[in-house]
Structure 1
Amino acid sequence: MRFAPQVKIPATYMRGGTSKGVFFKLDDLPAAAQLPGKIRDQILLRVIGSPDPYAKQIDGMGGASSSTSKTVILAKSTQPDHDVDYLFGQVSIDQPFVDWSGNCGNLTAAVGAFAISNGLVDASKIPENGICTVRIWQKNIEKTIIAHVPMAHGQVQETGDFELDGVTFPAAEVQIEFLDPADDGEEGGAMFPTGNVVDTLHVPDIGTFQATFINAGIPTIFLNAEEIGYIGTELQDAINGDAQALARFETIRAYGAKQMGLIQEIAEAEKRQHTPKIAFVSAPKSYVSSSGKQIQAEDTDLLVRALSMGKLHHAMMGTAAVAIGTAAAIPGTLVNLAAGGGEREAVRFGHPSGTLRVGAQALHENGQWQVKKALMSRSARVLMEGWVRVPAETLE
């Protein structure tokens, strides 16, 4: 029996924030994958190495975690006053599907750099030295993001002294602005889909909890750590090594998704792993981060732990950080109360790998809260570029 040679596809492997992913230019994909559908998903699954019943992704580019099982497709923007269209696919590790329901805020930090280096930004907009402002259209959520990418000698500056907890080595700082990050009322309702900053969430056979449901950056369910049996300083092993705890979180997430209007039936949550996120908050406490760094209570305004794709994240998802900053800026949310209440435009929160500062500008107009902008700093770096290969039958 003869087997066809593998298909080569130009690709770049990049770190953005605390995530890694495989980046493609849309027009470099095989023709059948340049449109949404079965072939595109099959290719991305095979590139990453999914579905993998061993949950290791050995036969692919994935790193066996939600932070490293990611793909990005970029193209010159079709939107007025934008440079690049950014489409994100979260690849399931052990199931045969790609979740297109949300953005990746961490990989957003790499989008501008890739776009500049790959001819997706008009050369007239790129300075020899200084900052290149890249306007990104995030296709998953139909929002504008602005990346401020440092340039040196006509090239993207990747090295620098900016340190990001959760990333081992320093790099160049990339400032990111998420414009109008709250949902505009299409899927799942407005910024607060129930109309409340705090709701009661009843989960059969598990319990009843206070919850803040918010659509900002990414749909997120916030709970109080103490109500669900935690103190807020937990690291990954405390939760990811506990199968019962993970199952409990997933059940709570499913019922929260239904209350947010994101799904109609609880079973639908199984095929919607990327959104909503679920996180728990607490007041500041001292703890030792996963790298051994001592975090003092006075170093933070609050503590947040968040789960992604069924596991506790090793740091914090960028989109969830937008949700944290937004919720912190609005009096009365669980996030705001954990940070001490009142009005604020920025918070520094503690996560398993350290701390992160995020800002948000909230306004109360016509009886509703609006957030015009959320800001944070990240870094990005090309790790490898060339081609990925997939078996020919992947395109069938």
Structure 2
Amino acid sequence: MASTPTRPAPQTRIPATYMRGGTSKGVFFRLEDLPLAARQPGAARDALLLRVIGSPDPYGKQIDGMGGATSSTSKSVIVSRSTRAGHDVDYLFGQVSIDSAFVDWSGNCGNLSAAVGPFAISAGLVDAARLPRDGVAVVRIWQANIGKTIVAHVPMAGGQVVEDGDFELDGVTFPAAEIQLEFLEPADEGEDGGAMFPTGHLVDTLDVPGVGTLQATLINAGIPTIFVNAADIGYTGSELQEAINADAAALARFEAIRAHGAVRMGLIADVADAARRQHTPKVAFVAPAAGYVSSSGKQVDAGDIDLRVRAMSMGKLHHAMMGTAAVAIGTAAAIPGTLVNLAAGGGPRDSVRFGHPSGTLRVGAEARQVDGQWTVTKALMSRSARVLMEGHVRVPADALPLV
């Protein structure tokens, strides 16, 4: 039977830009363009972003929203002019759950960080006097989730952001202009506090019921990350998504590792709390360099990389590598004795090239030891970004009673 027509409720139109940053996509907003109630943290903002992205969706597809039904494409970004000295813009990232009514604000998205500078310039949020007509614009970004500074180097030509170029990023089909990112003092995750190594050890013994006793490097750099050896959990380190994401038992084991590691890192008080902190910490497994075939069919040779890394994001194996996890990889690789460093062959290093499911990525880090404690001054990597669509998103007015 056909539904009975009703008086249509007007949809709320909100200026927005849909962007790719690195190997992720998200909906970008200027803070000033959001409905008044959503300009502050809280239920109204979360309700708005959930509806924009199309969550919660029990079908897991986000058909009625802008999300792409993966952790890499269920993302939102809010940018505003910064009042903080030495910064151009404030950047807030929301990881939107696909199947539950939850927006996780506990961490950053390193991939979308590459799009913040271009978006801020195009949206008029950066002082025009600081922008070269031709050359490279330096955009100073305050990452509000974790309280850290990111410096983006954005190419410009004719007063406009350059998007086309020949920089290739594994996990992204088409080349684009290169954007260099500096993550300054990436260790110590903001509100959670704690040192780069929250337990005080480079390697810990982690007891996980149902999984076993594992060696683990627990690090706060870029994003809180739990590194384990691939061989210790029954993997080679060359796995692609289908080898893990279709295995419910494997996903449960990874979630158990994540929950118990989060408790050990002091991020949550009890393993039951992990369900309300889906975005962080990440779990990654490492293995020495070896050849494998990437998800695109490209051969990655052992000589092309220093080690192999696979990482979980929002309960699934990531198709490439999260940018923040890449910062954690680069930082851990620079510190002799971590599992990442050992998998890469050990010894001091200032950069590492690792193999991930889509190919390879190089990341650098400047780490040093002061009074027996390790510190990292910056991590560096290159990404690219592009505007995919701009205009307005529409949200049913009666779906947002708080906005």
* TM-score, normalised by the number of residues in structure 1: 0.99
* Alignment deviations for residues 288-346 of structure 1 (CA, whole Å, 9 cap, x no partner): 00000000011000000000000000000000000000000000000000000000000
Matched, 1:97 2:111: no
Residue equivalent to 1:208? 213
Give 1:204 deviation, angstroms: 1.4
1:69-88 maps to which residues of 2 (within 5 A)? 69-88=74-93
1:11 aligns to what SS in structure 2? strand
Residue type of the partner of 2:396? P
2:237 aligns to what SS in structure 1? coil
Give 1:189 deviation, angstroms: 1.5
Matched, 1:335 2:340: yes
User: Cα distance 1:294–1:135, how it changes in 2: closer, same or farther (>3 A)?
Assistant: same
Give 1:3 deviation, angstroms: 4.0
Structure 2: gaps spanning 5 or more residues: 1-5
Instruction: Select 2:59's aligned residue among 49, 54, 72.
Output: 54
Matched, 1:367 2:368: no
Residue type of the partner of 1:50? S
Residue equivalent to 2:3? none
Matched, 1:390 2:367: no
Residue type of the partner of 1:53? P
Residue type of the partner of 1:300? I
After the TM superposition, which segments of 4 or more aligned residues of structure 1 sit over 6 Å from their partners?
none
Instruction: Select 1:14's aligned residue among 13, 19, 30.
Output: 19
* Alignment deviations for residues 177-234 of structure 1 (CA, whole Å, 9 cap, x no partner): 0000000685151100000000000011220000000000000000000000000000
Q: Check conservation: 1:213, 1:220, Cα contact below 8 A.
A: yes
Matched, 1:140 2:145: yes
Structure 1: gaps spanning 5 or more residues: none
Matched, 1:172 2:177: yes
Residue equivalent to 1:238? 243
User: Cα distance 1:252–1:188, how it changes in 2: closer, same or farther (>3 A)?
Assistant: farther
Q: Check conservation: 2:147, 2:190, Cα contact below 8 A.
A: no
1:125-274 maps to which residues of 2 (within 5 A)? 125-183=130-188, 187=192, 189-274=194-279
Q: Check conservation: 1:56, 1:63, Cα contact below 8 A.
A: yes
How many residue pairs end up in the alignment?
396
In structure 2, distance between residues paired with 1:367 and 1:300? 30
Q: Check conservation: 2:145, 2:190, Cα contact below 8 A.
A: no
Instruction: Select 2:386's aligned residue among 359, 364, 381.
Output: 381
1:106 aligns to what SS in structure 2? helix
Q: Check conservation: 1:188, 1:260, Cα contact below 8 A.
A: no
User: Cα distance 1:220–1:12, how it changes in 2: closer, same or farther (>3 A)?
Assistant: same
Residue type of the partner of 1:345? D
In structure 2, distance between residues paired with 1:188 and 1:87? 18
User: Cα distance 1:377–1:117, how it changes in 2: closer, same or farther (>3 A)?
Assistant: same
In structure 2, distance between residues paired with 1:116 and 1:88? 18
* Alignment deviations for residues 92-148 of structure 1 (CA, whole Å, 9 cap, x no partner): 000100000000000000000000011110000111110000000000000000000
2:168 aligns to what SS in structure 1? coil
1:210 aligns to what SS in structure 2? strand
Q: Check conservation: 2:138, 2:154, Cα contact below 8 A.
A: yes
* TM-score, normalised by the number of residues in structure 2: 0.97
Residue type of the partner of 2:374? W
Residue type of the partner of 2:155? P
Q: Check conservation: 1:185, 1:191, Cα contact below 8 A.
A: no
Matched, 1:294 2:299: yes
1:112 aligns to what SS in structure 2? helix
1:227 aligns to what SS in structure 2? helix
Residue type of the partner of 2:344? A
1:296-335 maps to which residues of 2 (within 5 A)? 296-335=301-340
Q: Check conservation: 2:189, 2:223, Cα contact below 8 A.
A: no
In structure 1, distance between residues paired with 2:387 and 2:284? 30
